[in-house]
Structure 1
């Protein structure tokens, strides 16, 4: 695998930070335009927030295809699609990236940190509950045509990196070879 470039790292860092935000409206549909920009500025209501300029730039190049809000295990993820070529990051129109959220220490210490990290990952090496939920969401995305095997990249940070790594193990031909992830 070719190491990621600085442009790749910028692209995936922006996507990862966007995936940390809450990007669905009350109807369950992904935000777009002004609503997406405002959601990115709010982020996760903690540290992961875009500035106005960052949010507008993100909206210029990316759209939210799907987002899985927190399940009872704490799993959540987002699929993004590039709307047009981005000369700064090298993203190409129609690139698809699946991103997994990290541990939510502040809001969900019991579920994400204690249950998943301490009782599952520390003891067995795997976040079993979140892996089950991730697999169910992955299969639904494939079935609904929102993901096509071999035609998307992965990113995840911390716990999300663990999940991204697991996708490559569970589905070796699923993601592009250029996947970026930061394993937990």
Structure 2
């Protein structure tokens, strides 16, 4: 099915808005939003403007003439953080690197959930390399086929958007994602294709990473993310699953890797004295992952 260029351009603009940092921005103030869109993927605290995904003046006018930003889940992993940080207005712990933006087409009941790409710069340069590149891209998609922590956070944020009324019952929802966001958008679409409270319309991915295949005789992304959530609350679920597996089995994760990537797990949180896991996990020889390589794809569906 062919889609005209103007439609693609509309979704490019919305994806660009998702790449912009809107933390602390008054979304009802046009000047503040305009300034943030022109900065794009550059945080105000880092004026060197290393990021090139920025709105030109005419693009700001085009975007704001058609669309309104409703909400954004985004956080800066400041190394001086001394306590848990939550996405604005929510009780969702912002520790996975996920960022997603809800945008409404003006005068309609049509929305877009746009998912940000990999923030490749280091934290000291205003990026999120540790959580996005190493946590989601390498440790997640490349090694196991799924960025599970960010998928879990995206599910939590989607439920909050509906529960809070930001995404009303009966809404028409499109989804976009670029790079890492393309992976998240792809899996999100599979999970919610048959939802009845919100009608999923189209999904557009740009240079998007596809997904892997679950290695334990299952290929249902809903079940995969649900399993991840269950293990996050009770790691013994996974520990029991891998008892007796040889260390060469892809479902087995060496404890040193668990410790290395512990900060990307929802069971991890910041404390004034450093960091710790929320639960005590005496048996953590557990894999939340798959044994498959990802399928890379770019598509509009």
TM-score between the two structures when normalised by the length of structure 2: 0.54
> Where does residue 172 of structure 2 map in the other structure?
151
CA change 1:50–1:98 in 2 (3 A) is: same
Match of 2:153, SS state, is helix
The structure whose Rg is larger is 2
Cross-structure match for 1:57? 62
Contact 1:32 1:63 in 2 (8 A): no
Deviation at 1:68, TM superposition (A): 0.4
1:48 to 50, 53, 56: 53
1:161 to 170, 179, 182: 182
Question: Aligned partners of 2:98, 2:139: CA distance in 1, in Å?
Answer: 15
Structure with the largest fraction of helix = 1
Q: Which residue of 2 aligns with 1:122?
A: 142
User: Who is 1:8 aligned against?
Assistant: 7
Name the structure, 1 or 2, with higher relative contact order (CA <8 Å, separation 6+): 1
User: Equivalences for 1:35-184 in 2 at 5 Å?
Assistant: 35-45=32-42, 46-70=51-75, 71-84=94-107, 93-106=108-121, 107-147=127-167, 148=169, 151-174=172-195, 175-182=199-206, 183-184=208-209
Aligned residues: 173
Change (3 A) 1:150 1:123: farther
In the alignment, what sits opposite 1:87? none
Q: Which range moves more in the overlay, 93-102 or 125-134?
A: 93-102
Q: Does 1:34 align with 2:31?
A: yes
Deviations 1:160-183 (A, max 9, x none): 011111111111224533221233
Q: 1:108 to 1:49 in 2, by over 3 A?
A: same
Aligned to 1:90: none
> Is contact 1:97-1:154 (8 Å) kept?
yes
* Consecutive unaligned residues in structure 1, runs of 5 or more: 85-92
